[in-house]
């Protein structure tokens, strides 16, 4: 009887490990012609990801403009608008489709925007905000070099 329990436990662990790999680590990707990983998403999910990226870009532009205007309040507001709180709009069904490294970059990018907001509020130094933004933008470059987002063709 104990042998049967151990066999069942081992099978369950293997199944959990496989599902963890599939749904948390690997996501749903294929390698594209240009060597990047292609995230295969429903059209609405693709639109959500691309909208988020455009929102990041818009916030970055606002931060740069505000830094040029020596306006730390606007820097903080622009950065906070795309911080960790903005992640709440991403459904779990989409998150499971994304590979772990993509998720890490996304979470780190939101966190770095929060850091920019906090630093701008506390210290009000636009030069520091620009340096932080430069560091954050490395995430954007890494992501765009590694991934592309395609919609699954409608059937």
pLDDT at 67: 98
Are 101 and 70 contacting, i.e. CB atoms less than 8 angstroms apart?
no
pLDDT at 6: 75
pLDDT at 17: 62
Helices (H), the chain: 2-20, 43-68, 72-80, 92-95, 100-123, 126-146
Burial 141-155 (b: 16+ CB within 10 A, else e): eebeeebebeeeeee
CATH label of the domain that carries residue 7: 1.20.120
What domain count does the chain have?
1
Q: What three-state secondary structure class fits 94? A: helix
List, run by run, the mean pLDDT of 10-residue segments along the chain (155 residues): 73 65 63 94 95 97 98 98 91 90 96 98 97 98 97 82
Domain extent at residue 126: 2-151
């Amino acid at each position: 009887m104990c042998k049967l329990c151990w066999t069942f436990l081992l099978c369950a662990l293997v199944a959990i490990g496989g599902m963890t790999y599939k749904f948390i680590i690997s996501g749903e990707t294929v390698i594209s012609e240009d060597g990047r990983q292609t995230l295969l998403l429903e059209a609405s999910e693709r639109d959500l990801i691309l909208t988020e990226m455009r929102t990041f870009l818009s916030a970055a532009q606002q931060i740069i403009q505000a830094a040029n205007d020596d306006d730390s309040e606007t820097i903080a507001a622009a950065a906070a608008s795309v911080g960790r709180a903005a992640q709440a709009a991403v459904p779990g069904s989409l998150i499971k489709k994304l590979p772990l490294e993509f998720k890490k970059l996304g979470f780190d990018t939101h966190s770095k925007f929060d850091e920019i907001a906090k630093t701008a509020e506390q210290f009000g130094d636009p030069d520091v905000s620009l340096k932080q933004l430069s560091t954050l933008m490395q995430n954007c470059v890494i992501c765009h070099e590694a991934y592309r987002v395609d919609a699954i063709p409608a059937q």
